[in-house]
Amino acid sequence: MRRFLVLTCLLLPAPLMAQSVLQRSPNLSGTWVPDAGVFQFNFLHRFYVTGAPSHAVVNFPTFTLAAGLPSRLAVGLRYATHADAVTGSGTNETELYARWQHQFGTARAFTIAITPAYNTASKSADGELGADWTSGPITLLGAFRGMSKAYGLDTARIAVAGGAVIRFTPYIGIAGDVASLLSTRPGEKAAWSLGLVIAIPNSPHTFSLHASNVDVNTIEGSSKKGPIVTGLNKTIYGFEFTVPIHPSRFGAMFHRAPKPTVTGDVGAPIGATLVIASLKFGTDTITISAGQAVRWNNGDPVVHTVTFEGPEPGSGEIQPNGAYVHRFAMAGTYTYHCTPHPFMKGVVVVK
């Protein structure tokens, strides 16, 4: 049951969910996979401004689309409309990938991911073995990469990458990474990025502002310093916005709602009904008359409890779509909270 609570809490908009830019650095994809039934849309945009007199803005967008499957599997693609990892192949680069993630322990202390991929621009079978380790506010990331025909050239290449994230609060941190091909050739230098990573409060979205010397964060694109439109070796700036999409919120297409169950003093005269939603007990204070009952309906996708500070018996777990009814025989002020979410608090005043 504890495991169930941990899993269900991960489905809620939380600042540190698996798709968060607070868990990875701008050029590393880390080990994240969307939860099963969840789609992920990430928009990475980098740009630079050309010199006088034109001052034109040159844009490098990369879209990541991924779908979470059961068993911590995901499939996805990265599509860059203005890539230059492969010279002379046009500017579109698409990387198709699958990912399998494995977490050691329940707290994401150490996670690995295996990501086989195919880059359509270079016609190269690519892959990454990634790992990350989290301890409190710090996440360290590493990746080992292989490419069968990197950059469209007929040679297999290997690259390594490392990065770190330091979170100052659950909502803001800094991140950076470095990646390099092994046995570099003349002109090939390490790729790097530095970023400010931000979770947007009360939303499942995260955002980063960053600088890098590469334009695209595919396996190939982020493994060496980019030509950034051949000949221009520039630092370019950009941002990334991450958007998880939960189809279940649009009508329970993936999750059948559990059968509602009502526990407690079922049948007692109801003086007030509260709907628990978005990790809140509806209203903080409710007033009823002695002898009446309060009914709590759980409208959240996670289990809550009504646990009294005093000797009053509490609810036990209230399942999603379930309800708890408690009759108050005596006048008084009854304060309560939710055991899994202690910041959820409420008061029943019985007159």
Binding site for Cu ion (CB under 5 A): 304, 338, 340-341, 344
β-strand partners of 262? 323
When the beta carbons of 72 and 326 are compared against Cu ion, the nearer one is 326
When the beta carbons of 59 and 339 are compared against Cu ion, the nearer one is 339
Write down the least CB distance from residue 314 to Cu ion, Å: 12
Write down the least CB distance from residue 13 to Cu ion, Å: 14
Write down the least CB distance from residue 3 to Cu ion, Å: 17
Write down the least CB distance from residue 341 to Cu ion, Å: 3
When the beta carbons of 250 and 343 are compared against Cu ion, the nearer one is 343
CA distance 93 to 77: 10
Encoded tokens for 149: 């025909």
Work out the number of other CB atoms within 10 angstroms of the CB of residue 135.
Answer: 10
Q: Of 227, 224, 85, 231, which is closest to residue 152 (Cα–Cα)?
A: 85
When the beta carbons of 192 and 296 are compared against Cu ion, the nearer one is 296
When the beta carbons of 269 and 313 are compared against Cu ion, the nearer one is 313
When the beta carbons of 247 and 301 are compared against Cu ion, the nearer one is 301
Encoded tokens for 257: 């709602």
CA distance 236 to 216: 11
CA distance 14 to 2: 18
DSSP string, 229-272: TTT----EEEEEEEEEE-GGGGT-SS-PPPPP-EEESTTSPEEE
CA distance 41 to 31: 16
